[in-house]
Structure 1
Amino acid sequence: MTDITGIRRKLEKKLKSERYEHTLGVMYTASSLAMRYDGDVKKSLLAGLLHDCAKFCSGREQIQLCNEYQIGLSESERKMPALVHARLGAYLAEHEYHIHDREILDAITYHTTGRPGMTLLEKIVYIADYIEPGRQEIEGLTLVRRAAFSDLDEAVALSAASTISYLENAGRDIDPMTVKTYEFYSKK
């Protein structure tokens, strides 16, 4: 049995306090969404708790760790280091926190960009990260929060659209997987 309390203690020491508070918010939001959609509450707690476990260091250091651990990165991840923590986080969840459930590891891997055809757990963590109570108010957040508890697929489409819009307006690169996620869920 996985020791959630032990993992929490480790993360509290490893992450900056704001990141740790965000992590707890995602963990509890994910468990609430799991209850709403008859998902696995324990898996949701674990995936939410560990989703940002690699954010204890800079993007450059995350890339170095990926190279060291031989974790393959996409071209987008190399261009946009803010994405790297998801793939590295799944690796750390498995190797440092001893999570071997592929569904939890995939939820961590795809919590930033999403992907077409996500599992329930992947959608839960993706949305929980976006809507957790401590999240800074951004345009469209209220709509995503409202949709999250009535239509999870709609919430995914709204979240991906909001992310794309934000990145476009900021003149930043957009990961192609986020676009694919939007396209897939906006047609449902």
Structure 2
Amino acid sequence: MNREQMIAKVKAEMPERRWLHTEGVMETAVVLANRFGVDPARAELAAILHDVAKYWPTDRMADMIRDKGLPAELLAYDKELWHAPVGAWVAEHEYGVADPEVLGAIRYHTSGRRGMTKLEKVVCLADYMEPGREFPGVDRIRELSLRSLDEALLAGFDSTMSFLIEKGKRIFPLTLEARNSLLENNR
């Protein structure tokens, strides 16, 4: 499947406003990749597919988590996390993506993880700060991204965790581990 076919297929999986977000993530991922020494083509590929399963019914995603051997612990956390590992499975099995780092960037774009690769960081950060995103602190994240991938991503995780705490929601362990890993690596 070529790039244009992939884009058309992914675009059909989501409402127009989410496709606009995906385009913003694609553009931002390429900029960040060039800034921080990551292959921009791989960053763009992960960005194209990062939300491929975002608008699937939750029961369909839950079934895939159970049936495809994805981490069952996801089911105990916010449904907003589910589309990332499901999307990585779809990218591999339905779109033919074989690059494990691209699949990792899709899989961890919502949660992060300890020891993230630069590509995973780029796609995760692009998802936080693409031009269409508007939330308290996003401008600070964008400013930090001009000089430090890790500092900007840390600010993104801090924002997510503060939001979840404010809403009385559980924090997925990988997100906490990702944040702690960034702190440990930047001492």
TM-score by length of 1: 0.93
* C-alpha contact 1:59 1:82 (8 A) present in aligned 2: no
Q: Which runs of 4+ in 1 moved over 4 A?
A: none
The answer on whether the counterparts of 1:116 and 1:180 sit within 8 Å (CA) in structure 2 is yes
Moved more, 20-29 or 55-64: 55-64
Corresponding residue to 1:177 among 165, 174, 177: 174
Structure 2 residue identity aligned to 1:108: I
Do residues 159 (structure 1) and 156 (structure 2) align? yes
Structure 1 residue aligned with 2:119: 121
Question: 1:60 Cα deviation (Å)?
Answer: 2.6
Q: CA deviation at 1:74?
A: 3.6
Question: In structure 2, do the counterparts of structure 1 residues 129 and 160 end up closer, same or farther at CA, with 3 Å as the change threshold?
Answer: same
Matched with 2:49 is 50
Give the RMSD, CA atoms, in angstroms. Answer: 1.4
Displacement after TM superposition at 1:185 (Å) = 1.1
% identical aligned pairs: 38
Task: State the distance in 2 between where 1:3 and 1:35 align.
Answer: 22
1:22 equivalent to 2:7? Answer no
Contact 2:84 2:109 (C-alpha < 8 Å) held by counterparts: yes
Q: Deviations over 1:52-109 (max 9, x none)?
A: 11113122321123333x2322424433222111111000001111100001000001
TM-score, normalised with respect to structure 2 = 0.93
Counterparts of 2:88 and 2:20 in 1: how far apart (Å)? 20
Size of the alignment, in residue pairs?
A: 185
| Conserved? CA contact 2:22–2:48, under 8 Å | yes
Q: Are 1:54 and 1:86, in contact at CA under 8 Å, matched by a contact in 2?
A: yes
Match of 2:92 among 71, 86, 94: 94
Any unmatched runs of 5+ in structure 1?
none
Whole-angstrom CA distance in 1 between matches of 2:135 and 2:55: 24
SS across alignment from 1:75: helix
- Matches of 2:102 and 2:143 in 1, distance apart? 25
After superposition, where does 1:71-82 map in structure 2 within 5 Å? 71-82=69-80
Q: Distance in 2 between matches of 1:97 and 1:166?
A: 33
> Structure 2 CA distance, aligned partners of 1:37 and 1:59?
35
Q: 1:10: Cα distance to partner?
A: 0.7
What letter matches 2:181 in structure 1?
F
CA contact (8 A) 2:50 2:84 kept: yes
Structure 2 unaligned blocks of 5 or more: none
Whole-angstrom distance in 2 between the partners of 1:14 and 1:109: 18
Aligned AA (2:180): E
